[in-house]
Chains A and B, each alone.
Chain A
Amino acid sequence: MTITVNGEKTSHEVEDRTLLVHHLRDVVGLTATNIGCDTSTCGSCTVLVNGESVKSCTVLAAQVDGDEVETLEGLAGDGGEMDAVQNAFQQKHALQCGFCTPGMVMAATSLLRENPDPTEEQVRMALKGNLCRCTGYHNIVQAILSAAEGIR
């Protein structure tokens, strides 16, 4: 299979049952995408496939053959400068242990591409599939609203 991950084309042979999240972590070597549950509930493994946010623990690697995948590692600029969402997460203290963060940032990125002017209610609904145990979501919501403002 061949996929483009964060703009770079990679080709590998994969076992039929390999999950995308394991492929990204163990084969491509990008470990920011995390696994927090076995039931696609927590959203820590959220990545973008052809621009759509998906839970990479629910997708087989072979299913995304030929597709474009974006992970947390691809968001920052070439010099490592954080993008608007990442920057807002730092400024608003929207992460503590950081485990849900890659998934949260990807979910937020997906939301803001679709809806650059969300209400607080819309942000909260959009995060329903991403669990955080540390922040109580307060600062995550604030960060996304603030990033939206910056992007606009």
Chain B
Amino acid sequence: MSILGTRVVRTEDPRLLTAGAIYLEDLRLPELQGAAYATFVRSPMAHARITEIDVSAALAEPGVVAVLTARDLDDIPDQSGAAGAEPLLAVDVVRFAGEPVAIVLTEESYQGEDAAELVSVDYEELPAVIGVQQGLSDETLLFPGSDSNVVGKGGAESFDDAAFAGCEVVVERTIVNQRVAAAPLEVRAAAARWAEDRLTLWVSTQNVHGVRDQTAGRLGLDPGAVRVVAPDVGGGFGAKIGADRETIVVGWAARRLGRPVRWVETRNENLMGMSHGRAQRHTVTIGGSRDGRVAAYRLDIVQDCGAYIRLGTMLPNLTMLMAGGVYDLPRIETAYRAVLTNTTPIGAYRGAGRPEATAAIERAMDLFAAEIGMDPTEVRRVNFVAPDKFPFTTKTGATYDTGEYAKALDTVLEAAGYEELRAEQRRRRERGDPLQLGIGVSTYVEITGGGPEAGETARLSVHDDGTVTVWTGSSPHGQGHATAWAMLVQDELGIPMDRVTVRHGDTDVLKEGVGTFGSRSLQLGGTAVHNAAVEVKERARELAADEMEADPADLVLDVESGTWTVRGVPGQGVSWARLAERAGPDGLSADTKFATNQATFPFGAHVAVVEVDLETGRPRLVRHVTVDDAGPVLNPILAEGQRHGGIAQGAAQALYEEVAYDEYGNPVTATLMDYTFITAAELPSFELVAMETPTSANPLGVKGIGEAGTIGSTPAVQSAVVDALAHLGIRHIDMPATPERVWTAINEARTAQ
């Protein structure tokens, strides 16, 4: 029986559960002996000119090895760039609170905190540009050499005035997809050592190869002169893609000092310095007929990039691509403007552009449904892309591979007991219950594993002791690759997974690779491993044929016992160990790269049930039921784990999380006491329903699952809060639906009545 599809517990867990993982700060390598500790001096101001930096007091402190500023970066290529380009250390101007201005290097870590406070920086305050409205006004420019804070534009040049002509109903609304923090529990960290003109950089990252190339590029080195190693990584959620400026500065400082350097930021620095996510303002316009058919949809996006362009122009492009969601819409218009503001730069966060698209269209569908007085599930059903239309090319240019949208919705509604929930809602409304029930439904499709450079590498070697090593370019941070990849090997080669070792996260071992993000791992990295196993298997067939003096076509691999036999001669067999021995060192190995331009389009449907306390405005998520279809599931417990985590993060965006600044650009959510994580006490257990629609984009038929939970849950939970208050005439509440915001909406609705 194939091991694929079975609930295999993780092989990586015993180590993590008994000794603890080895994260960056846990490294006790001899190469890092005598490392100096790095502490960054960060700007307390959102926008200011640096008039002077005096490091003398800091230098006089005990244990201080060096204090370096932008002025010291004279041995690397020119840093002055176009508007939006991010320097390594602030040059003359700081553009967000938390921007690194100097690096302090000390013998001991506690000394760094002391000395950093003594670095005296004189700032001449400039007006802070906070929020996209102010950014768009161009009254204050972040880069005075340019003529606008708008650093990216795309989609329609202008919208067609006639787009909604002939619609019986048109609804327009501006909604906010707020700025959130990725906030992995392991903050950013790096360590660096130079030896023989070569930099080794240990980084907590999702993609070692990307860090290698970017670091080499910024320091003016050949990529071969940089080795990047990721130890265990304590979460990333998109924000650990690529080399952050601090990481590169740590690598540079190690060269300057001639000794290793290690750095780990504080949570406070993490919430100010690590890329934030989302931060889009949407104006949605939706029009159609009273029978529920949508004729036209318009999505106007303003992306807050923060102070520098990280991924701030890529995200709205993905949002535009996925704007139409699961619907077969005759007309879609999209456009975006990306604008700089004096806030932390924006990067990828779980879903990166797709949750935003889903949130916009799902809210629009609900607004439209409310306007025509139709059940939100009915409006969706009327507009779904029908199953016989796949592959389906949308008006925004995405080609969906496979989908069963109505089936996903029906399945989740059945599992949730939708009719009974509506009946309960009616009963509570009729009796004027202070605890109202809200039911939110979302349906979604996302894009995973796509792009022109989509691909991943693997190497597989069978050793003469019968064990296997797999190297993967997909460097994980909690997704369970060690278990999943071993299952793929066992399935193909019949070598038990406890004899399979999976290695990753070292650019010297595997020179090429991409990483773990965008729900790409199984479909690209897993396929590369699968293909490597197939290749090794064919090589083994030849070797076994030689060994048994038989025709290769007659050789059969018994996957149960992991031995090769000649068809019809069951008694004799040859083992993998024997074949590897025969092949010689590395003789039974394969290097593969699986590349495809064909993205996959996982989809699903979520039902969220909330109770809203009319007296306090407090919403509480009481049930969450989902169908998340990512094709065949390799290991259900891993897939469910990804869904659980995603649901919680999405619900947290809907209900709690928001990175906020005051009018001067001071971050007011720069600790975990202010930035509201969701905890176990605010969540119910989740109800997951299985559904598997394969894709033809890869031989495993699999799609991505890492971001699905987040994409589906955010609009479902938001919509549930609004739905609880629909009888008061409330149609929309921006995220996060905090008690204060909900209470205000209730109060305003009651006053208006």
Which chain A residues have a beta carbon within 8 Å of chain B's beta carbons? 15, 17-18, 25, 29, 31-39, 41-42, 44, 72-73, 75-76, 80, 82, 86, 89-91, 93, 95-102, 105, 120, 123-125, 127-142
Q: How far is the CA of A131 from the CA of B671 in the complex (A)?
A: 13
13 extra A-B contacts, CB within 8 A, seeds A72-B18, A102-B20: A25-B25, A31-B25, A34-B234, A39-B267, A41-B677, A90-B9, A97-B477, A98-B232, A101-B17, A130-B679, A133-B649, A136-B709, A137-B680
Residues of B within 8 A of A (CB): 9-10, 13-14, 16-23, 25-26, 28, 110, 183-187, 232-235, 237, 266-268, 477-480, 637-638, 640-641, 644-649, 671-673, 677, 679-681, 683, 685-686, 709
Which chain A residue has the least Cβ–Cβ distance from B266?
A38
Return 24 A-B CB contacts under 8 Å, by A number: A25-B25, A35-B25, A36-B187, A42-B185, A42-B672, A44-B185, A72-B20, A73-B19, A90-B9, A96-B479, A97-B234, A98-B234, A101-B16, A101-B17, A101-B20, A101-B21, A130-B680, A131-B672, A131-B677, A135-B644, A138-B685, A139-B640, A140-B680, A141-B685
From B640, B646, B683, A93 is in contact (CB under 8 Å) with B640
CB contact under 8 A between A96 and B13, given known A42-B185, A124-B683, A133-B183: no
- Is B185 touching A136 in the complex (CB atoms < 8 A)? no
Residue of A nearest to B267 (CB): A37
- Contacting A86 at CB < 8 Å: which of B17, B477, B479? B17
Q: Contact between A120 and B20 (Cβ–Cβ < 8 Å)?
A: no
Contact, CB under 8 Å: A38 / B268: yes
Chain A residues with CB under 8 Å of B20's CB are 31-34, 72-73, 98, 101-102
- Contact of B186 with A31 in the complex, beta carbons under 8 Å: no
- Is the CB–CB distance between A97 and B185 below 8 Å? yes
Q: Please judge, given known A-B contacts A38-B268, A39-B672, whether A137 and B679 are in contact too, CB under 8 Å.
A: yes
Most buried by B among A73, A76, A97: A97
Q: Is B478 touching A127 in the complex (CB atoms < 8 A)? A: no
CA distance A42 to B14 in the complex (A): 23
Please state if B683 and A136 are interface contacts (CB–CB under 8 Å).
yes
Q: Are A90 and B14 in contact (CB under 8 A)?
A: yes
A97-B186 contact in complex given A42-B672, A90-B17, C-beta closer than 8 Å: yes
A96 to B638, CA, bound (A): 9
Contact of A34 among B186, B648, B680 (CB under 8 A): B186
Whether the Cβ atoms of A89 and B13 lie closer than 8 Å is: yes
CB-nearest residue of chain A to B647: A136
User: Which of A33, A102, A133, A136: most chain B CB closer than 10 A?
Assistant: A136
Determine the chain B residues whose CB is within 8 A of the CB of A129 once the complex forms. 679
Interface centre among A44, A96, A130 (most CB of B within 10 A): A96
Instruction: Let me know if B648 and A136 touch, CB within 8 A.
Output: yes
Closest chain B residue, CB of each to CB of A98: B16
CA distance A130 to B185 in the complex (A): 11
Whether the Cβ atoms of A136 and B686 lie closer than 8 Å is: yes
Which B residues lie within 8 Å of A37 (CB)? 267, 671-672
Cα distance A38–B717 in the bound complex, in angstroms: 30
Q: Which residues of B contact A95 (CB under 8 A)?
A: 13, 16-17, 478
Cross-chain contact A96 with B641 (CB below 8 angstroms): yes
B645 pairs with A133, CB closer than 8 A: yes
A139 touches B644 (CB 8 A): yes
Q: Who on chain B is nearest to A86 by CB?
A: B17
Cα separation A10 to B717 with both chains bound (whole Å): 51
Which residues does chain A contribute within 8 Å of B16, judged by CB atoms? 95, 98, 101
- Where chain A touches its partner, the secondary structure class is loop
Tell me which residues across on chain B come within 8 A of A29, comparing CB atoms: 28
Q: Which residues of A lie under 8 Å from residue B477 when comparing CB positions? A: 97
Q: Which of A34, A91, A127, A136 contacts B644 (CB 8 A)?
A: A136
B645 and A99 contacting across the interface, CB-CB below 8 Å: no
Chain A minimum-CB-distance residue to B232? A98
Which B residues lie within 8 Å of A141 (CB)?
680, 685
* Inter-subunit contact A137/B683 (CB<8 Å): yes
Closest to A75 in B: B18
- Of all chain B residues, the one with the shortest Cβ separation from A126 is B680
- Chain B contacts of A42 at CB under 8 A? 185, 267, 672, 677
With contact pairs A73-B20, A86-B18, A99-B23 given, residues A91 and B185 touching in the complex (Cβ less than 8 Å): no
Q: How far is the CA of A140 from the CA of B648 in the complex (A)?
A: 13
Chain A neighbourhood of B237, CB < 8 A: 133
A10 CA to B728 CA, complexed, in Å = 65
Nearest residue (CB) in A for B635 is A93
> Nearest Cβ in chain B — how far from A12, in angstroms?
15
What residues of chain B lie closer than 8 Å to A25, measured between beta carbons? 25-26
The residue from B14, B23, B645, B649 contacting A82, defined by CB atoms under 8 A apart: B14
Q: Indicate the member of A18, A36, A128, A141 with the most B CB atoms within 10 Å.
A: A36
B683's nearest neighbour on chain A, judged by CB, is A137
Shortest CB distance B667–A (Å): 14
Q: Chain B's nearest CB lies how many Å from the CB of A96? A: 4
CA distance A15 to B113 in the complex (A): 15
Q: Which residue of A lies closest to B477 (CB)?
A: A97
Which chain B residues border A38 with CB–CB below 8 Å? 266-268, 671
Separation of A139 and B683 alpha carbons in the complex (Å): 12
Q: A41-B672, A124-B683 are in contact. Are A134 and B17 (CB under 8 A)?
A: no
Chain A residue nearest in CB terms to B26: A31
Q: What residues of chain B lie closer than 8 Å to A17, measured between beta carbons?
A: 110
Tell me the bound Cα distance from A99 to B645 in angstroms: 14
Contact across chains for B235 and A99 when beta carbons are under 8 A apart: yes
Asked if A41 meets B673 with Cβ closer than 8 Å, knowing A31-B26, A95-B17, A138-B686, the reply is yes
Q: Give bound CA distance, A33 to B477, whole Å.
A: 18
Write the nearest CB–CB distance from B353 to chain A, whole angstroms. 20
Question: Which A residues are in CB contact (< 8 Å) with B479?
Answer: 96
Q: Which residues of B contact A130 (CB under 8 A)?
A: 679-680
**Judging by beta carbons under 8 Å apart, are B23 and A32 in contact?**
no
A93–B640 Cα gap in the complex (Å)? 9
Query: Are A34 and B23 CB-contacts (below 8 A) given A90-B13, A95-B17, A137-B683?
Result: yes
Asked whether A131 lies within 8 Å of B679 as measured between CB atoms, the reply is yes
A113 CB, nearest partner CB in chain B, Å: 18
Q: State the CA gap A123–B21 with chains docked (Å).
A: 25
The CA of A76 and the CA of B19, in the complex, are separated in Å by 9
Q: Which of B14, B20, B234, B671 has the most CB of A within 10 A?
A: B20
CB-nearest residue of chain A to B688: A138
- Complex CA distance for A96 and B478, rounded to whole angstroms: 4
Q: Measured between alpha carbons, how far is A75 from B14 in the docked complex, in Å? A: 12
B681→A127 contact, CB < 8 A: yes
| Residues of chain A contacted by B234 (CB below 8 angstroms) | 34, 97-99
**In the complex the two chains form, what is the Cα distance from A41 to B25 in whole Å?**
19
Q: How far is the CB of B70 from chain A (nearest CB, A)?
A: 27
Residue of A nearest to B483 (CB): A93
